[in-house]
Amino acid sequence: MIPVGFPPSRRARELAHDLFRVVREFRALHPDMTDAEIRHALRIIEMEAGGNYTRNVMIALYIVTLLLLAGVFYLLLGSE
């Protein structure tokens, strides 16, 4: 998440510029690539870089999945 009210640092702007250049060159080589594929690739980068938002979402999904499985087992085994 980007904090509101804080301008990006010089390094952040430089990295964004480099990523833009790489994506532009990649799209020139692969003109059939969609915007969704680019967004997905950027999410993968964020996840591999340890983005807090992505990690928190994955933890929440894991917990919800465990709770749903526990509920299903309770309904299946507890109803007998």
Comparing 58 with 26, the larger pLDDT belongs to 26
| The pLDDT value given to residue 28 | 92
Which residues, including other chains, have CB under 8 Å from residue 54's CB and lie 6 or more apart? Answer: 43, 46, 47
| The pLDDT value given to residue 32 | 92
Tokens of 41: 């690739």
Residue 51: CA atoms inside 13 Å, Cβ hemisphere, count?
13
Q: Is the pLDDT of residue 4 over 70?
A: no
CA 22 to chain centre: 19
Q: What's the pLDDT tens digit per position in 14-47?
A: 988 998 899 999 899 999 988 899 888 888 887 7
% of the chain with per-residue pLDDT over 90? 11
**What is the domain partition of the chain in residue ranges?**
9-49, 52-80
| The pLDDT value given to residue 51 | 62
What pTM value is reported for the model?
A: 0.50
